[in-house]
């Protein structure tokens, strides 16, 4: 059985320094005799410019912060291994999903979305669940969340969404929570948020630990096998240790008493050998069945009901090693939905298409230029060669005179290879249409699945949702926004909205508002029923 699990460990070891017991030196290797006193004129005189040691030490310190991630700034990561359950070659060429028992090193970073790098972790928020697979064919990143859908349908609205979700710009309040006017103003003015807002008000948004939450790729991707046959695919992570949430009262208390609650749990459990495990599963829709459903499978505000499209398990991930250095590993890792391997491709999901631009773009500034792929945590375990050169922080010494493709001077410059030799070829989807800025009509059912989610919840969970709406909307100062929210969520469930209205001091939903019809029983959504509240 093939096992390349140690490849990433071995690679990182080459970059790990052993400072213990060594003489203290400057960055240029000069041994030092004194590290506590600046070089001054006399014992009581001014520090002199000549003090290269002081200047180097202080300059490095002055520059040691980098920008935090524009979203998902607060996070925590761990190393692990993914093991394939068996041959998935009928659906994908991806090598790491091949032979049973094949192992691939991984790094996972969990995060909150809205809060800054120092914010509390048990806030009401979506959680990020991003995985980098260091495969033999290059890095594959599955950049997911713990909620299977998203607030918006088109990436062009992401800056608007995040501007509304983040602390308000005039006073930087509130940090990492959704109890404010701009968030709810965005919700009531963008009805596509209805489904995700229901999940966001549920216990899913206050997980007990990173070990006990699900993960979802959210967007629709594509699997392609060696015969060129394609399936649309949704990715799921199922926690082997089960799913648990906090209740709001304890979440708030913990946020005050131990803002590091989730990272501490992850770190301590891994140190204790209680390794978090997650099974990777997929839902698959054959390419030919794209239009078989009563929702658009490219719409990221919709789930795919598991009764209709069952899960197929592909393997298990075990997180078994903490980082040695938070900055070098957790902070410097750069995930990107566009990091794929042969057999994994994209769909035209308009949210995914925009994400394909955003990640590298933001990392160029966050990680200081175009060479962040050379940082130890980001390096693939397979070789990489191309004609890219230079730029800030370049570490590789590329030999040779020719750094371009077709040429007559050097016949051994890096060359492309055929698909049969591992080259990546995009799925040749046939596309016809006019250039437009318009949403497909099929995206416009905003409420059916939101109601389905509500109906899937137990009475206790429904009570938690109502409490969450009341807490969050109760913090909204603009009464018109509270009222608009009550009216909007009366489309999901009138009785729910009436209770909320009463408790937050606005009038009952307008009589003209119609609650959306229930979906037929065949569309019941088992994915929603796994939650175990405590």
Judged by the rule CB under 6 A, the positions of this chain that interact with ligand HEM are 69-72, 75, 109, 111, 128, 130, 143-145, 150, 155, 158, 217-218, 333-335, 351, 354-355, 358-359, 362-363, 366
Residue 352: partners with Cβ closer than 8 Å, 6 or more residues away: 155, 219, 220, 221, 300, 337, 346
Q: How far is the CB of 363 from ligand HEM (least distance, A)?
A: 5
* Set 4, 5, 145, 378: catalytic member: 145
Q: How far is the CB of 77 from ligand HEM (least distance, A)?
A: 7
d(CA 165, CA 113): 9
Judge contact between 139 and 168, C-beta under 8 A: no
The three-state secondary structure class of 251 is helix
d(CA 163, CA 184): 12
Q: Which is nearer to ligand HEM, 156 or 226 (CB)?
A: 156
The first and second tokens of residue 418, run together, are: 């055929």
Q: How far is the CB of 359 from ligand HEM (least distance, A)?
A: 5
Q: Which is nearer to ligand HEM, 354 or 370 (CB)?
A: 354
Q: Which is nearer to ligand HEM, 39 or 70 (CB)?
A: 70
145 in active site: yes
Q: How far is the CB of 362 from ligand HEM (least distance, A)?
A: 4
Q: How far is the CB of 55 from ligand HEM (least distance, A)?
A: 31
For residue 311, the tally of other CB atoms under 10 A from its CB is 18
Give the CB-nearest residue to ligand HEM. Answer: 128
d(CA 162, CA 378): 26
Cis peptide preceding 174, ω within 30 of 0:
yes
* Set 53, 72, 336, 339: catalytic member: 72
**Would you list the DSSP string of 18-47?**
--TTPPPB-TT--B-S-SSS--BSSTTS-B
Q: Which is nearer to ligand HEM, 319 or 490 (CB)?
A: 319
C-alpha distances out from residue 394 to 332, 371, 373, 388, 398, Å: 15, 6, 10, 10, 10
Q: Which is nearer to ligand HEM, 264 or 366 (CB)?
A: 366
d(CA 219, CA 221): 6
Q: How far is the CB of 111 from ligand HEM (least distance, A)?
A: 5
Closest to 116 (Cα-Cα) out of 60, 67, 48: 67
Q: Which is nearer to ligand HEM, 144 or 376 (CB)?
A: 144
Q: How far is the CB of 385 from ligand HEM (least distance, A)?
A: 25
C-alpha distances out from residue 50 to 33, 62, 122, 485, Å: 16, 19, 49, 65
Q: How far is the CB of 205 from ligand HEM (least distance, A)?
A: 14
The three-state secondary structure class of 216 is strand
227 in active site: no
Query: Looking at residue 328, what DSSP letter applies?
Result: I
Closest to 106 (Cα-Cα) out of 84, 133, 77, 144: 133
Residue 36: partners with Cβ closer than 8 Å, 6 or more residues away: none
Q: Which is nearer to ligand HEM, 304 or 471 (CB)?
A: 304
Q: Which is nearer to ligand HEM, 252 or 347 (CB)?
A: 347
| Active-site residue list | 72, 145
């Amino acid at each position: 059985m093939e096992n390349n699990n140690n490849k990433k460990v071995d690679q990182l070891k080459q970059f790990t320094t052993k400072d213990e017991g060594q003489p203290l030196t400057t960055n240029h290797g000069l041994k030092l005799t004194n590290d506590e006193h600046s070089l001054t004129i006399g014992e009581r005189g001014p520090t002199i410019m000549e003090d290269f040691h002081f200047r180097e030490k202080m300059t490095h310190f002055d520059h040691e912060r980098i920008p935090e991630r524009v979203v998902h700034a607060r996070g925590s990561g761990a190393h692990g291994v993914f093991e394939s359950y068996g041959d998935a070659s009928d659906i994908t060429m991806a090598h790491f999903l091949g032979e049973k028992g094949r192992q691939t090193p991984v790094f996972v970073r969990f995060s909150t979305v809205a809060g800054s790098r120092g914010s509390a972790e048990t806030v009401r928020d979506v959680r990020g669940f991003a995985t980098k697979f260091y495969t033999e064919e290059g890095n594959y990143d599955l950049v997911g969340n713990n909620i299977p859908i998203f607030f918006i349908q088109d990436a062009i609205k992401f800056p608007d969404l995040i501007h509304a979700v983040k602390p308000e710009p005039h006073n930087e309040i509130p940090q990492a929570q959704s109890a404010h006017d701009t968030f709810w103003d965005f919700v009531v003015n963008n009805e596509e948020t209805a489904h995700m807002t229901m999940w966001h008000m549920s216990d899913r948004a206050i997980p007990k630990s990173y070990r006990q939450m699900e993960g979802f790729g959210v967007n629709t991707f594509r699997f392609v096998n060696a015969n060129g046959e394609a399936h649309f695919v949704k990715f799921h992570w199922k926690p082997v240790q089960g799913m648990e949430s906090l209740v709001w009262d304890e979440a708030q208390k913990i946020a005050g008493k131990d803002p590091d609650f989730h990272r501490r749990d992850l770190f301590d459990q891994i140190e204790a050998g209680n390794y978090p495990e997650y099974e990777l599963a997929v839902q698959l829709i054959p390419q030919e069945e794209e239009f078989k459903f009563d929702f658009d499978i490219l719409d990221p505000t919709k789930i795919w009901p598991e009764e209709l499209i069952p899960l197929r398990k592909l393997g298990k991930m075990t997180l078994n090693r903490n980082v040695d250095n938070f900055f070098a590993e957790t902070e410097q890792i750069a995930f990107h939905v566009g990091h794929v391997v042969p057999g994994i491709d994209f769909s035209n999901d308009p949210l995914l298409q925009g994400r394909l631009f955003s990640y590298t773009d933001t990392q160029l500034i966050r990680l200081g230029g175009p060479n962040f792929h050379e940082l130890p945590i980001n390096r693939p375990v397979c070789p990489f060669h191309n004609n890219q050169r230079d730029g800030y922080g370049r570490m590789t010494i590329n030999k040779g005179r020719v750094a371009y493709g077709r040429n007559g001077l050097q016949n051994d410059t890096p060359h492309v290879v055929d698909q049969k030799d591992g080259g990546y070829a995009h799925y040749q989807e046939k596309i016809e249409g006019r250039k437009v800025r318009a949403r497909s009509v099929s995206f416009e059912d905003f409420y059916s699945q939101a109601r389905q989610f509500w109906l899937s919840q137990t009475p206790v969970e429904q009570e938690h949702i109502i409490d969450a709406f009341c807490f969050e909307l109760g913090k909204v100062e603009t009464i018109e926004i509270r009222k608009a929210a009550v009216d909007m969520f009366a489309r999901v469930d009138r009785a729910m909205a009436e209770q909320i209205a009463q408790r937050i001091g606005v009038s009952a939903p307008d009589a003209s508002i119609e609650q959306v019809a229930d979906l037929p029983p065949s569309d019941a959504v088992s994915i929603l029923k796994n939650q175990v509240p405590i």
